[in-house]
């Protein structure tokens, strides 16, 4: 094709100052993204941060929320104008975050752009987001996101191809200007990958056996098609197993975050009469998961510990794993398993990007976060459907109930009572003030007594990556007590309105007779100490958290 005949426009623009990617990409309200040039500037900043665009291939896909299709058109036209060789696009602009990671790796592309604000609500008044993933399939590390931010601040113009809207719904390969566009099935590559990890025959036998029932809530978000294809079509679960399986641009008005508060439909089913044996939900872009048994909630921290303890039941991990990694605020249940099994356990800052180096170097194979995220080195993102399949594989192999499996685990390793209290949309200044005051007191905390507890140490978590020695500072304030209980305070890096204070609480119970309490009851004293230490109620004017998980 003669590129001189293409109508490539160079549009002048002025930089925005607020395009620094957060915990998980650039996440803003749709209204922000609709500002003239806002999306285009950020996309151009991504392209400018690449080491030249010529000959490069990127994957593009998103969670189907409002603005997804519009953004896909802009990205394709800009990619063609910037000289990319090829874009691989999920049909209709749909790819879950784990599927995008899988496609990047499988097709050995130079990275990918994922359109999602994860679990944040969608729709014209909701949020939108853009994440850049690198060639290992994982979220761009800080040096890359900082380079994108730097480019965004100096941007004077962007390039875009002037052409009619492109057909993004028909599978096949077409030309967009001088660029190739390959539209692929959104599920196929991903399904093939998970089939190579788990024992699908064993899970099929469990589901077809007749006495096992499950329910999967896709929350009207991206995992609907994955759930229908994998749980119903491939694994034989009856139609109706997947609920809220149709992707809606506003997620049906819901908040697609799989936790006890927002996945209430599923919670009602699993805690209701004649409940199924197993329930699970995933979030907006398919990387999170919640696991439920009949009348039973598995905390994400316990889930990663249980996966570690049971990894030998899974074909892909049956020969053993090198290590497990968890984010700092995640409970230390996995550490206990790792210690007993003689494998390494790594503690990283919050955010999946910190696991990438550990997985690339073969140090950690399984990773998890308390925020309903777990995954492994089959890709470089956390993975909702993978996590659910992991549990199904455990259930199929052990033939016990979810509750029995978890309770036996506690008896063997102890129960790490755990809860996270979120204070959302707090005035930003007040939230920072609280963190600064906590910080200022850290040095004098050691040895202090609060109720029955004595402070062992208190610090602001700092992490040195064991692979590239990069340092991440100020990753959350930890107050550890001598009885192995602890609390962590940090500010969210993904919120789009005000500040969100997250308080993480954990205490260890080794006595099986005392492992059956409600977490809020078991953690009561610690909750009170947290307020005493931080003066949270007084400083923020809030008397209770907005969300408890
Ligand atoms: C939150 C979670 C974190 C997760 C991230 C992206 O980030 O706490 O574990 O990796 O969302 O899903 P935060 O808002 O706390 O910065
Ligand atoms: Zn997500």
Residue nearest to atom 5 of ligand 1 (CA): 351
Q: Which of these CATH numbers, 3.40.630.30, 3.30.310.50, 3.50.50.60, 3.30.565.10, describes 415-548?
A: 3.30.310.50
Q: What is the pLDDT of residue 141?
A: 85
Assign 58 to helix, strand or coil. Answer: strand
Maximum CA pair distance of the chain?
77
| Residues 72 and 93: beta-carbon distance below 8 Å | yes
What's the start-to-end Cα distance of the chain, in Å? Answer: 55
| Residues 247 and 226: beta-carbon distance below 8 Å | no
Give the other-Cβ count within 10 Å of 74's Cβ.
Answer: 15
Of the ligands numbered here, which is closest to the C-alpha atom of 476? 1
The residue from 96, 101, 118, 303 that is catalytic is 118
| Residues 524 and 417: beta-carbon distance below 8 Å | no
Q: What is the pLDDT of residue 493?
A: 84
Comparing CA positions, the residue from 118, 519, 466 lying closest to residue 333 is 519
Report d(CA 79, CA 113) in Å as an integer.
Answer: 11
Q: 105 C-alpha vs ligand 2 centroid, how far in Å? A: 19
Q: Strand (E) positions, 171-314?
A: 172-176, 179-184, 214-217, 242-243, 278-282, 289-293, 296-298
- Kindly give the number of the ligand 1 atom that is closest to the alpha carbon of 119: 12
Low-confidence spans in the chain with pLDDT less than 50: none
Residues 6+ apart with CB under 8 A from 37: 11, 13, 14, 158
Query: Each residue of 324-346: b (16+ CB within 10 Å) or e?
Result: bbbbbbbbbbbbbbbeeeebebb
Q: What is the pLDDT of residue 275?
A: 97
Q: What is the pLDDT of residue 416?
A: 98
**Domain limits of the chain?**
8-186, 190-413, 415-548
Of the ligands numbered here, which is closest to the C-alpha atom of 284? 2
pTM of the model: 0.94
Q: Which of these CATH numbers, 2.20.25.240, 3.40.120.10, 1.20.1440.230, 3.40.228.10, describes 8-186?
A: 3.40.120.10
Q: Which residues line ligand 1 (CB under 6 A)?
A: 23-24, 118, 327, 350-352, 369, 371, 373, 492-495, 502
| Residues 22 and 130: beta-carbon distance below 8 Å | no
Q: What is the pLDDT of residues 3-12, one digit of tens each?
A: 557 899 999 9
Q: 284 C-alpha vs ligand 2 centroid, how far in Å? A: 6
Domains 8-186 and 190-413 share a fold: yes
Across the strands, what pairs with 347? 326
Q: 94 C-alpha vs ligand 2 centroid, how far in Å? A: 14
Sign of CA dihedral 96, 101, 106, 111: positive
Q: Is 12 a catalytic residue?
A: no
Q: 212 C-alpha vs ligand 1 centroid, how far in Å? A: 33
Q: What is the pLDDT of residue 3?
A: 53
Q: What is the pLDDT of residue 58?
A: 98
Class of domain 190-413: alpha beta
Q: What is the pLDDT of residue 360?
A: 92
């Amino acid at each position: 094709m003669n590129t001189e005949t293409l109508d490539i426009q160079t549009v002048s623009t002025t930089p925005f100052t607020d395009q620094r990617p957060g915990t998980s990409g650039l996440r803003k309200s749709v209204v922000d993204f609709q500002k003239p040039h806002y999306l285009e500037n950020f996309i151009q900043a991504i392209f400018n941060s690449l080491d030249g665009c010529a000959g490069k291939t990127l994957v593009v896909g998103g969670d189907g929320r409002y603005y997804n299709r519009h953004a896909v058109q802009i990205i394709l036209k800009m990619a063609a104008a910037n000289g990319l060789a090829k874009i691989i696009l999920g049909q209709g602009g749909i790819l879950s975050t784990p599927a995008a990671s899988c496609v990047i790796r499988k097709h050995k592309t130079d990275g990918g752009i994922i359109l999602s604000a994860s679990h944040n609500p969608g729709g014209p008044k909701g949020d939108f987001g853009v994440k850049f993933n690198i060639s290992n399939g994982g979220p761009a590390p800080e040096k890359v996101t900082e380079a994108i931010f730097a480019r965004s601040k100096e941007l004077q113009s962007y390039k875009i191809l002037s052409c009619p809207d492109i057909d993004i719904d028909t599978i096949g390969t077409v030309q967009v200007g001088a660029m190739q566009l390959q539209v692929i099935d959104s599920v196929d590559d991903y399904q093939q990958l998970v089939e190579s990890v788990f024992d699908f025959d064993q899970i099929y036998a469990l589901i077809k056996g007749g006495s096992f029932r499950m329910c999967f809530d896709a929350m009207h978000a991206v995992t609907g098609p994955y759930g229908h294809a994998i749980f119903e079509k491939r694994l034989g679960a009856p139609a109706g197993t997947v609920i809220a399986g149709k992707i809606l641009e506003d997620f049906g008005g819901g908040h697609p975050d799989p936790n006890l508060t927002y996945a209430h439909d599923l919670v009602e089913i699993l805690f209701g009469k004649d409940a199924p044996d197993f329930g699970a939900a995933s979030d907006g872009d398919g990387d999170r998961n919640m696991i439920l048994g009949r009348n039973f909630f598995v905390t994400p921290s316990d889930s990663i510990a249980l996966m570690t303890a049971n990894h030998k039941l899974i074909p892909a991990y049956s020969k053993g794993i090198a290590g497990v990694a968890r984010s700092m605020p995640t409970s230390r249940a996995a550490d206990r398993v790792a210690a007993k099994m003689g494998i390494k356990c790594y503690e990283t800052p919050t955010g999946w990007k910190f696991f990438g180096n550990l997985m690339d170097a073969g140090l950690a194979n399984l990773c998890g976060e308390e925020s309903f995220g777990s995954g492994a080195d089959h890709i470089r993102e956390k993975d909702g459907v993978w996590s659910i399949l992991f549990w199904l594989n455990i259930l199929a192999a052990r033939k016990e109930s979810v509750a029995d499996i978890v309770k036996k685990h506690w008896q063997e390793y102890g129960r790490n009572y755990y809860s996270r209290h979120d204070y959302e949309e707090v005035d930003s200044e007040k939230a920072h003030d609280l963190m600064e005051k906590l910080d200022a007191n850290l040095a004098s905390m050691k040895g202090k007594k609060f109720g029955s507890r004595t402070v062992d140490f208190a610090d602001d978590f700092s992490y040195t990556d064991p692979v590239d020695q990069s340092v991440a500072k100020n990753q959350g304030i930890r107050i550890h007590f001598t009885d192995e209980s602890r609390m962590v305070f940090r500010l969210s890096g993904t919120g789009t309105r005000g500040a969100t204070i997250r308080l993480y609480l954990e205490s260890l119970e080794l006595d099986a007779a005392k492992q059956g309490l409600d977490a809020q009851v078991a953690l009561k004293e610690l909750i009170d100490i947290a307020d005493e230490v931080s003066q949270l109620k007084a400083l923020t004017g809030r008397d209770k958290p907005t969300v408890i998980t």
